[in-house]
């Protein structure tokens, strides 16, 4: 006798005598069932993979790199005319970053959106720190605290909020597409 474990809700069912794994198609939640002999072994491997979470971390990092390409293309400089993005490719790359993060990391719709959001936040913070606080001569001159806070909030709006929205949309597109394709197959 073995167990059927749901991939979606982590629920399990112990097979009774005379029951076979082929007798069950899906879990009550609609998730796919996997047969294991011992539930303890499966729980240990699940704990290891969830602790490492390598797929999700690598998906977010690769998505952040794709989004960083858009930041590099538009060359953010507060003294130039393209301080606020004026090229259309950035919008596509922000969405593509979220899409890549969600495709690599996998998971459900909510995790696809959150993976896109995390990728955009990581890349946006890197841009703010790198381009503005390290390489910018504006901070060599003493500025007042309200000016610094206002400038930081403007940077957050431009480099965190807007890319995050497009990246979340890209993550949602990837997750919904994956869900539809798995239902079709």
Higher-pLDDT residue of 102, 87:
102
pLDDT beyond 60 at 20 = yes
Look at the pTM and tell me if it is higher than 0.75: no
Higher-pLDDT residue of 77, 127:
127
* Distance of alpha carbon 113 from alpha carbon 185, whole angstroms: 23
* Distance of alpha carbon 122 from alpha carbon 10, whole angstroms: 30
pLDDT beyond 80 at 82 = no
pLDDT band (50, 70, 90) for residue 169 = very high
pLDDT beyond 60 at 81 = no
Mean pLDDT, the chain, integer: 77
**109-127 vs 89-105: helix axis angle to the nearest 10?**
130
The pLDDT assigned to 76 comes to 53
pLDDT beyond 80 at 143 = no
Q: What is the DSSP string of 80-137?
A: STTSS---THHHHHHHHHHHHHHHHH---HHHHHHHHHHHHHHHHHHHIIIIIIIS-G
Backbone angles phi, psi at 9, to 5 degrees: -105, 0
The pLDDT assigned to 48 comes to 62
Higher-pLDDT residue of 89, 99:
99
* Distance of alpha carbon 159 from alpha carbon 31, whole angstroms: 37
**Per residue in 98-139, pLDDT tens?**
888 888 887 788 888 888 899 989 988 887 877 666 655 555
Q: Which of 1, 4, 10, 46 is nearest to 24 (CA)?
A: 4
If one counts every other C-beta atom within 10 angstroms of the C-beta of residue 177, the result is 14
Three-class secondary structure of residue 26 per DSSP:
strand
* Residue pair 32/26 in contact by the 8 Å Cβ criterion: yes
Q: Which of 18, 20, 45 is nearest to 4 (CA)?
A: 20
The residue-averaged pLDDT of 77-96 equals 65
**Per residue in 98-107, pLDDT tens?**
888 888 887 7
């Amino acid at each position: 006798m073995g167990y059927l474990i749901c991939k979606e809700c982590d629920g399990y069912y112990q097979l009774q005598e005379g029951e076979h794994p082929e007798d069950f198609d899906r879990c009550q939640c609609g998730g796919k069932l996997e047969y294991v002999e011992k539930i303890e072994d499966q729980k240990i491997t699940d704990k290891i993979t969830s602790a490492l979470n390598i797929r999700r971390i690598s998906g977010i990092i690769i998505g952040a790199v794709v989004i960083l390409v858009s930041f590099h293309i538009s060359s953010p400089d507060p003294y130039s005319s393209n301080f606020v993005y004026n090229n259309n490719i950035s919008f596509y790359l922000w969405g593509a970053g979220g899409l890549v993060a969600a495709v690599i990391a996998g998971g459900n719709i909510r995790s696809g959106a959150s993976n896109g959001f995390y990728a955009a936040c990581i890349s946006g913070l890197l841009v703010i720190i790198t381009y503005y606080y390290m390489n910018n001569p504006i901070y060599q001159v003493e500025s007042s605290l309200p000016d610094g806070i206002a400038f930081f909030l403007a940077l957050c709006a431009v480099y965190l909020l807007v890319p995050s929205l497009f990246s979340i949309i890209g993550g949602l597109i990837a997750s919904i597409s994956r869900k539809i394709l798995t239902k079709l197959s």
